[in-house]
Each structure stands twice: as structure tokens, then as C-alpha cells.
Structure 1
Amino acid sequence: MMGPRQVAQGALFYEFSLERHVPDDHLLRAIDRVVDLGDVRAQLATFYSAIGRPPVDPELMIRMLLVGYCLGIRSEWRLCE
């Protein structure tokens, strides 16, 4: 439905800064400094199809697995949470 906005745009979004919520001495920050996964996408690009749904980012998947292992999170649902 077209017409004037009933709600201000700022009310639709919330501000969340990971930098403010994760302490500087946290284990995940140390892992981020040591683990370099920058070239993973390029190395695995041939295994992904150009058609269909976009693939899960391999760098994100590996990082999530590392977080789950380091923090003892065994549930995929809990890891995404």
C-alpha cells in the first residue's frame, strides 16, 4: 500500500555492535587474530553451482564450527543462536 510512512524508519532496525559486546580479551578474538580464512572461498568456488540458492559461506561455516568446538556447543541450533 502506497502512502506516507506510518512508522519512522529508525524504529524498524536496532543497533547492535559486536565490538561493544565481545571483550578484547575474549577467546574468539584471539582465534580471529590467528586463523586466516580469507582464501577459503576462492579455493572452494569450483564446488559450488552458479544456479539455485546461494551457498552457505564456507568461511562462516568453518568459523561457526570452530566456535562450537571451542565453547563446547554441540547443537547446531544453539550455535546459530
Structure 2
Amino acid sequence: ARNLSWLVEERGIEPHIPVFDKSARRDDTFERSAFSYDHDDDSYICPAGKRLRQRQKVYREDRPFVDENGMLRYRASKLDCDVCALKPRCCPTQPARKILRSVHEGARELARDIATTDAYLVSRRQRKKVEMLFAHLKRILRMDRLRLRGPNGARDEFLLAA
């Protein structure tokens, strides 16, 4: 599957959608944002400067990097975490830190970057106006279903409702 950056580069289409981030932690340990991702090495770098990689050892049989949920697992070395001074803030109850990364994280980063632009704020305001009109058509004018078939029928019903 192609990711979102291809769509932006080839077609000029930008995804003006919010990206939900569930990586926040409630205990006072480091969040995923405290770890920087190195695209060249495909690894995360912890606040202490150590690398978190997908594999620490070599297996006889090839194992998939991606689990059934589409997540990649990055792990720190237990030897690095044992002697680290930041371990109480990083992984106090685990032997080493683990970070999950979606296979679609590149597209999510692109959408997060677009969400910081002025064009995104303008499109959010315009989207609210359009959605409000659709809600009015559905609730007040009872257009919860279209009775005519096809694109031409839908166009005719919306023109009559307007």
C-alpha cells in the first residue's frame, strides 16, 4: 500500500484530517515524543542517547517485523537500560523500554505537519460550515436518505432541498 506522502507528491492532495495520538502516558515516564526517530538507521534514540532497534539478536528463521495490528516493536537493550540513570523515568517496572510504531507512521507524521499550517486552520473552519449544513438537511429537512438513484438523482434532490 502506498503511503500518504506519495499522494501529496504526485497529486498535490494534502490530508486535512486530525491525527489521534494515544502515546500519552499517565505515570511520569517518558512519552514516545521524548524518543527521536532516525529514518536512516530505522531506530529510535532514547533521551540517554541509546538506540532502540527492532531486533537485538539474529534468528535462524526470518520472523516478520510487523505484528497482526500493523505495529513495529522497537526495544532497547537490557544491558543499556540496567546502567542508565534515566531508568526510573523511562521504564521503572520493565527490564528495557519498548516503543510501538505504526507502519503508517510516515503518513501520520505528514498529517501532523500539515495540521500546524494556516491552510489547515482555514479548511477546518470551512469544513465545519459544510458539515453544519449537511446536519441541518438531515435533521430538520429529514433528508436522512436519498430517494433518487445515482449521482444525478442525488444532485437533483440536493438542489430541490437547497
More strand by share: 2
Larger Rg: 2
Instruction: Report 1 or 2 for greater relative contact order, CA contacts < 8 Å, sequence distance ≥ 6.
Output: 2
Tell me the TM-score normalised to structure 2 length: 0.18
> Is the helix fraction higher in 1 or 2?
1
